[in-house]
Amino acid sequence: MNTPTEPTTLRAWLLAETPTSRRQARAASWYQGWLTLRSNPLTMIGLIILVFIIVCAILAPVLATHDPFAQNLGERLKPPGFDGHIFGTDSLGRDIYSRLLYGARISIYIVLLVAMVAPLLGLIIGTVAGYAGGWADVVLMRITDIFLAFPRLVLALAFVAALGAGIENAVLAISLTAWPPYARIARAETLTIRNSDFIAAIRLQGAGPMRIVTRHIWPLCISSLVIRVTLDMAGIILTAAGLGFLGLGAQPPSPEWGAMISEGRKYLLDYWWVATIPGLAIFAISLAFNLLGDGMRDVLDPKGGQ
């Protein structure tokens, strides 16, 4: 039998030197990757922090002690304590702890949308440029160079200024500025793969360019893109927070972390917690993604991680 029937044999089945089925080989590959990931203490710290933040965001309605939008001027700028406001209150008397929980939802929402749009756009452009070559490659790569010539935040500011403020427009602006590195990676991978013997064999079997790119080249580019996505998460969060800080991201009264820092900067010297605590939240999630990204690089690209 190819599938283990007892828990005690599961590890041996996953670590078998000679897999007897495709499913066993795939499961063994995932398990080996998990073992490599688990052996890195810093990566596990990042994973634990990230899982903790995601769980807090999902359970925000349960964990929040106050309405994140409710104002109470009688309790404005209260310091952190155990009198009902763990992280204190802001200038409008809103509970910072509750706003942090709901703000995590906004940050994760932005990250997930950008992570779905930017790599896909870059993958399509990069593989088309690498496989087609010729004028298509020249045109697409010169467009990519134009986008890479501008700092990401400056370009995102330009797009948001043209599209208008708001979360959706901020996501679109960040996505439009984040795809060029993915296109470069996908093009480099495609140039390496397209002249391989197995691609020539597939072409001789009658497969068209679309099938070759989507069924045989894309899967080989995914691991490199996943590494880049994980390492880019911190930059995406910082860009989103920067747009929120400038008032071009999530609009008040949304509890977006960048906007919370912007509101609290005027009270930084006397009421440090208003801006510092959201800043620590941004630091924590950015650090978690960076630590996890380093571990993912070791798993998916062992040679590059050495």
**Domains in the chain: boundaries:** 101-306
| Model confidence, pTM | 0.84
For the record, the structure tokens of 152 come out as 């990401």
Tokens 């089925």, residue located: 21
**Can you read off the two tokens belonging to residue 238?**
């910082």
Which residue, 111, 59, 82, is CA-closest to 257?
Answer: 111
Query: Distance (Å, rounded) from C-alpha 57 to C-alpha 62?
Result: 10
Element containing residue 71 per DSSP (H, E): none
- Asked if residue 20 lies in contact with residue 286, where contact means CB atoms within 8 angstroms, the answer is no
Cβ contacts of residue 174 below 8 Å, gap of 6+? 110, 114, 118, 152, 156, 236, 239, 240, 243
* Per-position b or e across 30-52, b if 16+ CB within 10 A of its CB: eeeeeebbeebeebeebbebbee
Amino acid letter, residue 195: N
Tokens of 226: 């996943």
Look at domain 101-306 and name its CATH class. mainly alpha
- What is the residue-level pLDDT of the chain in tens, covering all 306 positions? 455 544 447 777 777 777 777 787 778 778 887 888 888 899 999 999 999 999 999 999 999 999 999 888 888 889 998 878 899 999 899 999 999 999 999 989 988 899 889 999 999 999 999 998 889 999 999 999 999 888 888 888 888 888 888 888 888 889 888 999 999 999 999 988 888 888 888 888 888 888 888 888 898 888 888 888 888 888 889 888 888 888 888 888 888 899 899 988 888 888 999 999 999 999 999 999 999 888 888 777 655 444
